[in-house]
Every structure is written in structure tokens, then in C-alpha cells.
Amino acid sequence: MSPVLQTTTTRDALVAEVRKRILSGELGPGEALTENGLASAFGVARPTVRSALQVLVARHLVRAGGGRSLTVPVLTEDDVRDLFFVRTPLEVRAVREIVEKGLSLERAEELLAALEALPETADWSARVEAHTAFHVALVDCAGSPRLSRIYPAMQEEMQLCLAQLHAVYPGPHDLAVEHRELLEVIGSGDVDRACEAMRAHLDNAEARLTSSPSPHP
């Protein structure tokens, strides 16, 4: 029986479902995605699948391979380092702006609470989504429209990294605990300590991803 797709359009529903399976690890790095396979699995037309795959390619969750094949990206250590090369300065600068100006962390607090409230039975893709929402909210707290426009563009690939981190966070609430500690330091009002905590947080994440025994985090 084909999975039921319920959203605005069939294409959007297919995008959401394939994205969820990638971020949960059900579709692993290097796995091929074919029009025929997805059309058969979900009972939709090939043009709909083709359109959905184009969206996923644009969001860096699917990558063109040799010929016409499409696969779930295999992120190398160089890919991970490049992502953090871009990401770290943005988030550290956002934290400095927040603390120096005494800006509200209310929205980040709300999204962290949502991460903390996830039940133990929540799948990893739900934790990935909640984690990303927290970081986006934290950056938004800096109050820069341009930063808020630029930053989310890299988050699809960052989610792809985090999707592979099950072994690093063995407990269901470890991710939330780590981010609670980070937010408390940012909220302390000490600029240098807050920036250092954010940098250490991201350096630690990068180290976990690049020290994995496989080429993926």
C-alpha cells in the first residue's frame, strides 16, 4: 500500500516525505533515487517525481551523480569543514550582537523548549528539525534581516550532517541538554564567554563529524 501524502500539493508532499526519510537516515548517503522507484513507491506520476527531485537538488538534499542518476549526498570531511567555515563566523557574530546589545532570546528559548519537549519516541528527523529551528531562531535574535536571509540557506546541508549523528548522541535528550547549556551561557551577559561557548559548540560538532570512522558524520 502506497504511503498517504497529505499536504498542499502532491509534489510538496513528496518533497517533504523524501526529505524526512533522508534526515531520519532511512535513505542513507549514496542511496540512489530514481523517478521510476519513487513513482512506484508513492503512486504518483513521474513528472511529479521529477519536479520534487528538482526541489531536493536545489535544497542540497539530493545530488546529481554520473549520467542522469540522483543520490543522497555523501558528505566528505572537506564538505563538513567548508560548511563550518561558513557557518561558524555567522553564528559567533550573531551571539556577539545579541549579548552586546542585550537582545531578547525569547524565540530561541521557545524553540529550545520545543526540542526539550520531544518525547523519547521521537525519531531522529524530528530532533534534527527541532535542533535546526533553535539555531535559526538564535540567529534571528540578532535582528539582522540579511543574516536571517543568508543563514537558512546552508541549513539543509547542516541537517544532512546532523542526520548521521545517532552514535554521537546516544540518549534521546542529549542534544537538548547540550543546547540548554549553550543558551544559558549566551544569556549570562558575558560577551567573551558567550562567543567562546558558541565557537566551542560548533568546533565540537565539526570535530565529531570529521572524526567519524565513516566519511559521514
Average pLDDT for 180-207: 96
pLDDT surpassing 50 at residue 194: yes
pLDDT surpassing 60 at residue 212: no
**Where do we find the cell 572537506?**
78
Give the model confidence (pLDDT) of 52-74 as tens digits. 999 999 888 999 876 667 999 88
Q: What is the pTM of this model?
A: 0.81
For the chain, the domains span 10-71, 77-210
**Where do we find the cell 565539526?**
206
Strand partners, 64: 70
- CATH number assigned to the domain with residue range 10-71, chosen from the 4 options 3.40.190.10, 1.10.10.10, 3.40.640.10, 1.25.40.80: 1.10.10.10
CATH topology for 77-210? Four Helix Bundle (Hemerythrin (Met), subunit A) (1.20.120)
pLDDT surpassing 60 at residue 176: yes
Asked if 76 and 215 count as a contact pair (C-beta separation under 8 A), the reply is: yes
Q: Which three cell numbers stand for residue 102?
A: 542585550
Asked if 140 and 132 count as a contact pair (C-beta separation under 8 A), the reply is: no
Place 217 in a pLDDT band, splitting at 50, 70 and 90: very low
Q: Which residue has the higher pLDDT, 66 or 200?
A: 200
Average pLDDT for 38-56: 92
Q: First vs last Cα of the chain: how many Å apart?
A: 33
